[in-house]
Amino acid sequence: MKFYPKAPPTGDTSFIFVTVANNGGQATTITQVAGLYFPTIWHRIFRRAGRHFAVVNHPAGIQLPHLLGPGQLWRGVIDQDDVVKKFGTSSRLYCGVFHTASKKGVYRRVRLR
């Protein structure tokens, strides 16, 4: 997805948008957004040779850490052009959100086109 009108700091860059909803009854703090890359499905199945990467705060998104109350939404952005340049489009890419209500991140697959 791209921002329109094309203006600094985004320019003509494509982005991956991450949306998080707090469906619980207590507030939580989003601490990190991360990514995980596997070259093939076999690497994913056997958890081998995965490459982790961190997503730093982007000027277009809400800064982290962010307190997320019950029923609230948080939206973040990842530079898709940078991800494609580093990992390509034929791999398995997962983006995850880490928060204070769990020790593990919540990962979902991202399909780049």
Residue-wise pLDDT tens digits, 30-72: 999 999 999 888 888 887 878 888 888 766 667 889 999 999 9
Quick check: 93 pLDDT over 80? Answer: yes
pLDDT of residue 82: 87
Confidence tier at 9 by pLDDT (50, 70, 90)? low
Beta bridge partners of 49: none
Average pLDDT over residues 79-90: 86
pTM of the model: 0.80
The three-point CA angle 33-34-40 to 5° equals 150
The CA-based diameter of the chain, rounded to the nearest angstrom, is: 44
CB atoms within 10 A of CB 28: 19
pLDDT of residue 60: 65
Which residue is associated with the tokens 């086109």? Answer: 113
| C-alpha to C-alpha distances, 66 to 9, 28, 36, 71, 89, nearest whole angstrom | 22, 8, 22, 14, 30
Domains in the chain, start-ordered, CATH in brackets? 15-110 (2.60.40)
Closest by CA to 98, choosing from 40, 47, 37, 36, is 36
Give 79 or 3, the one with higher predicted confidence. 79
Is 28 in contact with 95 (CB distance < 8 Å)? Answer: no
Helix/strand/coil percentages in the chain, nearest 5:
10, 40, 45
